[in-house]
A = this chain, B = another copy of it.
Amino acid sequence: MPETAIRSRKEFGKTIAADITHRLREEIVTCGLPPGEPLRFDVLRERFGASFTTLREALTALTAEGLVDAQEQRGFRVAPVSHQDLVEVTDARVLIEVELIRRSIEKGDDDWEIAVISTLHRLKRIEQRDPEHPLRDPEWKIAHRQFHQALVSACGSATLLSIRAELFDRAERYRHLSANFRPRPRDKAGEHQAIMQAAISRNADQAVQLIETHIRTTADNVAKYAGHLLDAE
């Protein structure tokens, strides 16, 4: 069986469609495909090397995640950004993340504590190595995501975790949007450390308060430095 040529595309799933979904999500979240960009099939076909139908399946999945906007009979485009959407995503994240942190702190066992501590440790290592532009570093992004994921992982609800993941991606897109205009990232390392400590010491109220501030501050910075990109056009 010819192996590499075909398999090389399937890094993130057994099917090509799942793989394309993953790659497209990545491109959209990092604004490699900018908000509002029309997603024409010939272009995507060229770029991803898949057929109409496979691409369509991926776009349908991403539409449900709020990253793509389907206009019936008139194709797809990258979901536009707006001030309103940023506010909605931020509020929804706070609502859900706060609840999940509480539950995780209540239910988290030893493995949960270990996961929180070790993902933060990795994050800090990466930040030490290259403290410049975190969002530019794919490794930092993954470590950052995994730390926040670990914090809520013991909540016990796959349903809410999946909603949370969706909102996280939508928020991350806004972070990328503002990354190029932000003068210097604030001290996230300290915030993460504080959150971890509150969580491990089972201080739910403090953890919740820190997380809410963390999320809202990030969103405020997006509005501040990328505000001119929102609601444009």
Contact = CB atoms under 8 A, between A and B. Distances in A.
Interface of A: 13-15, 17-18, 53, 56-57, 60-61, 63-66, 72-73, 85, 88-89, 91-92, 95-96, 99, 157-160, 162-163, 167
A95 to B, nearest CB: 6
Contacts of A13: 72
Contacts of A89: 159
A95 B92 contact: no
A64 B65 contact: yes
How many copies of the shown chain assemble into the complex? 2
A162 B69 CA distance: 14
Contact of A53 (B53, B65, B85, B159): B53
Q: State the 8 A-B residue pairs at the shortest beta-carbon distance, nearest first.
A: A64-B64, A14-B72, A88-B159, A53-B53, A88-B157, A60-B60, A14-B73, A57-B60
B95 A99 contact: yes
